[in-house]
Chain A
Amino acid sequence: MKKIWFVLLISSIAYSCGEDDGPSIGDNFDRGTMLGNWADNIIVPAYQAYASDLSALSSATNTFVGDINETNLSNLRAAWLQAYTSWQRVSMFEIGRAETITLRDFTNIFPTSAASIDASITSGSWNLELPSSRDQQGFPAMDYLLHGIDVSDAGIVTKFQNDQNYQTYLQDIVARLIDLTDQVVDDWQNGYRDEFVGNDGSSASSSVNKMVNDYMFYYEKAFRAGKVGIPAGVFSGSPLSDRVEAFYAQDVSKVLFDEALQATIDFFIGKHFGNTGQGESLKSYLDFLQTISDGENLSDLINSQFLEAQSASGNLQNNFSEAVENNNTLMLGLYDELQANVVLLKVDMFQALSIQVDFVDADGD
């Protein structure tokens, strides 16, 4: 009997050595490098750019409050749009400090509650730290204050001039955006980066696992449903034109959407923020795993589906609110293209990466 074991052992060793077409030992895909690329070339630079746009927004706010006129209002709106656009580059990174303070919920919950904002301003008291105040701050609240409190620009200027509470509220929500963002940037710059990159294991709490789950959650909820699905009435049966992002500004929802779409693509392919460099990413990780599994070329399928979504968005008008009222078919078409990638990402990519959804026993059936 011992001989049989010996033969089995030898033949299995011979077998494993004989077939030499796989990657040799040490050719393991380096998740640490991918995490480093995400942190150093994408996440942190994007947060820094966003923080700097927020400080420009703060200056423009102070200028406006110091001298309330239509020109300064127009400059402030431009600064708001710039920072709002930069936000689209970081919204998906709800990890670390951003996750603790629920940055996205305090920054970009829409529709904003105009009635609550009006009530706060009338009463002169508000507490922006309360979870219940999420829909009364951030970019959507600014959207309302800068575009929605009166039909004309002159009317908006007059309201700000006549009521100090408008000015204070505006300054408070800008200060709150900056405060929250500074916490996140500080955290990334003082220790969290190394923790994030160092946590390169494969457990459910590893950085890759968490980041991919966060990315997917963002893609499904905030991006696909929030920006497109809900306004198009996918979940309600009829269009909800007041649920679009930047509802009061009217004609920028597409700009914001396009930026967010590009950001999800750039993260997927590992493109560096602000330059043309590219590093290890979900795409290159999938390509590596394909060499082991001989499966589909998933990264190509996902990439081309992203392109489909971009071209579907190209047909839309800038104002999503009008888009869902005038020609919702186009909006629903965009939703379908985004949804098709939910399947590729959440089913095929999750399977290929063996991402764990939850910590619970499972024996694979």
Chain B
Amino acid sequence: MWPRIQTYLAETTQAAPLAAFRVFFGVMMLASVIRFWSYGWIKKLYIDPAFFFSYYGFEFVKPLGVFTYGLFAICGLAALMVALGYRYRLAIITFFLSFTYIELMDKTTYLNHYYFISVLSFVMIFLPANAYFSLDARRNPSLAFQYIPRWSIDAVKLLLGIVYFYAGLAKLNSDWLIEAMPLSIWLPSKYSLPIIGDLLQVKSVIYLFSWGGAFFDLSIAFLLLIPRTRVVAYILVVVFHLLTGVLFPIGMFPYIMIVSATIFFSAQFHLGILGYMSKIFRFVPSVFDNGKSLTTTTLQWSHQRLAILALFFFFQIVFPFRYLAYPGELFWTEQGYRFSWRVMLMEKAGHATFKVASEDGKQFYVDNSQFLTAFQEKQMATQPDFMVQYATHLKKHFENTGLNNVAIYVESYVALNGRKSRPYIDPAVNLAAVNDSFKPKTWILPFDDKIKGL
């Protein structure tokens, strides 16, 4: 085993695919930042709200007021530098830190694809993506290499593979496969799409989308790996992601995935793309074709890099299964739900009314819109950890207004994947006295239904 691993680690390959990936990634990220900014979402999501939901252990990460714009500017600039391969190490670390900071500011905006960007940029810190087709390599020929260790490209493929495969595993449950939920809710609401709008009302079409989606996610990484199926697989990637882009409000994600999946293509393909790019920017790409190899032995800190990547991938493979340690239905309690590539899996809606009770017997209900934006309220109403944070905030607020020993109760209802709404949180529990932790939340009422499967 060990000799085989050593042989593998010693293998080198053309640097072009990773270089092209770096350019694509940087450009897409720059576009994402510009898009986010132009929609006014920085103000709407990070400046306007009066309260922010922190991630456990990251309570110190808060929006920076008007300086939040500066944070986005730094993030966009870093993305541009990544694309150009200019001071790459500094650029990718800055990008990872600024992007991750942005995502940690308020978990209301949690999206799997933002998490994907964070972890992908983390991985890229350890890859020699500036060895080829970069300003770094152009300015300093000693940094230029035509060949790089094979594992540095495979790391990206592995991460993409995990994302797809785990997203597929998460779909292997009775709601998705047997009830065709939540697509039975989402697809009919897209009635006004040209051509397919009417089809989306048809039950068998909805089942086809459900099963097709699961099949796609589980198999696509393998189909992309096999040279014979690669072209067909890539066409499927394009069709699948464009379709999801038309059907769902998922922003840049489909395009990021379509572009990222090109990493599976051959070096020849990427040399073609880079050649085309160099024509546009009028320089001769052959300056990078110096025949030099960067190997695992010559790459600085390569053992440390490999150790970190190995730990990272071990974490990625194990962490999504942490839900098994919790009692109850995962979709209902959401204990261990996030950071596990559970994408587009459920339609969950809720309504939570908070009751304030003070020592002297005074009781009244809270108007959530006084404290939260509509988007925050929507996310809060279906996620228990949000409710605890909000309750703690309410207690502090009302004790500052002169009430003593405030207790906060919630009357909440949640509907999951088309089931009728039912009580969600034990209304007799004082949420302001609950300590949020990774321990099972015993005050979530039982789901009283069974979703079978993974």
Contact = CB atoms under 8 A, between A and B. Distances in A.
Interface of A: 1, 5, 12, 15-29, 31, 200-203, 206, 225, 229, 233-238, 289, 292-296, 298, 301, 339, 342-344, 346-348, 350-354, 356-365
B185 A351 contact: yes
Of the four ranges (under 10, 10 to 19, 20 to 34, 35 or more), the interface on chain B belongs to 35 or more
A235 B113 CA distance: 39
Interface string B400-416: 00000000000001110
Contact of A292 (B206, B337, B343): B206
A352 B110 CA distance: 23
Among A200, A296, A346, which residue has the most Cβ atoms of chain B within 10 A?
Answer: A346
B190 interface: yes
B122 interface: no
Contacts of B111: 361-363, 365
Contacts of B205: 16, 22
Contact of B420 (A1, A289, A296, A339): A296
A34 to B, nearest CB: 12
B312 interface: no
Contact of A365 (B45, B190, B249, B338): B338
A360 B376 CA distance: 12
B144 interface: no
B351 A342 contact: yes
B45 to A, nearest CB: 7
Contact of A5 (B44, B202, B232, B366): B232
B212 to A, nearest CB: 7
Among A5, A21, A29, A351, which residue has the most Cβ atoms of chain B within 10 A?
Answer: A351
B375 A28 contact: no
A202 B374 contact: no
Q: What is the interface of chain A mostly: helix, strand, loop, or mixed?
A: loop
B184 interface: yes
Given A16-B207, A347-B413, A361-B251, 8 more contacts: A5-B232, A27-B201, A29-B191, A29-B201, A31-B192, A202-B190, A365-B111, A365-B346
B364 A25 contact: no
Contacts of B414: 347
B272 to A, nearest CB: 24
Interface string B198-212: 110111111110001
A22 B202 contact: yes
A354 B374 contact: no
A343 B420 CA distance: 10
Given A363-B343, A364-B182, A351 B203 contact: no
B346 A364 contact: yes
Interface in B55-97: none
Interface in B177-192: 179, 181-182, 184-186, 188-192
B395 to A, nearest CB: 16
Interface string B238-264: 000000000011110100000000000
Contacts of A359: 249
A218 B364 CA distance: 21
B37 interface: no
A361 to B, nearest CB: 4
A12 B212 contact: yes
B189 A357 contact: no
Nearest to B44: A360
A236 B364 contact: yes
Contact of A235 (B367, B375, B420): B367
A153 B380 CA distance: 52
Nearest to B232: A5
Nearest to A16: B204
B229 interface: yes
B365 interface: yes
Interface of B: 41, 44-45, 109-113, 179, 181-182, 184-186, 188-193, 197-199, 201-208, 212, 228-229, 232, 248-251, 253, 337-338, 342-347, 349-351, 353, 362-367, 374-375, 378, 413-415, 418-421
B337 A22 contact: no
A293 B182 CA distance: 9
A28 B199 CA distance: 9
A237 B203 contact: no
Contacts of B418: 293, 295-296, 351-352
Contacts of B207: 15-16, 19
Given A292-B206, A365-B345, A301 B191 contact: no
A19 B248 CA distance: 26
B343 A235 contact: no
B203 A289 contact: no
A351 B202 contact: no
A16 B181 CA distance: 17
Contacts of A343: 351, 413, 421
Contacts of A296: 418-420
Contacts of B202: 16, 22-25
Contacts of B415: 347-348, 351
Given A293-B185, A347-B414, A357-B375, A363 B206 contact: no
Contacts of B193: 202
Contacts of A15: 204, 207-208
Given A25-B199, A344-B421, A347-B349, A363 B113 contact: yes
A237 B351 contact: no
B383 to A, nearest CB: 10
Contact of B228 (A1, A289, A350): A1
Among A28, A362, A364, A365, which residue has the most Cβ atoms of chain B within 10 A?
Answer: A365
A357 B374 contact: yes
A357 B420 contact: no
A151 B155 CA distance: 84
Contacts of B206: 292
A205 B205 CA distance: 27
The 3 nearest A-B residue pairs measured at CB: A22-B203, A354-B189, A201-B192
B375 A289 contact: no
Contacts of A348: 349, 415, 420-421
B347 A31 contact: no
B112 A363 contact: yes
Contacts of A350: 349
Given A362-B249, A364-B343, A16 B208 contact: yes
Contacts of B345: 364-365
A257 to B, nearest CB: 19
Contacts of B45: 360
Given A346-B351, A348-B420, A364-B346, A31 B191 contact: yes
Contacts of B413: 343, 347
A96 to B, nearest CB: 20
A293 B349 contact: no
Contact of B192 (A23, A26, A202, A354): A202
Among A5, A202, A235, A347, which residue has the most Cβ atoms of chain B within 10 A?
Answer: A347
A347 B364 contact: no
A17 B199 CA distance: 12
A200 B192 contact: yes
Given A292-B188, A354-B186, A235 B365 contact: yes
Among A5, A201, A346, A363, which residue has the most Cβ atoms of chain B within 10 A?
Answer: A363
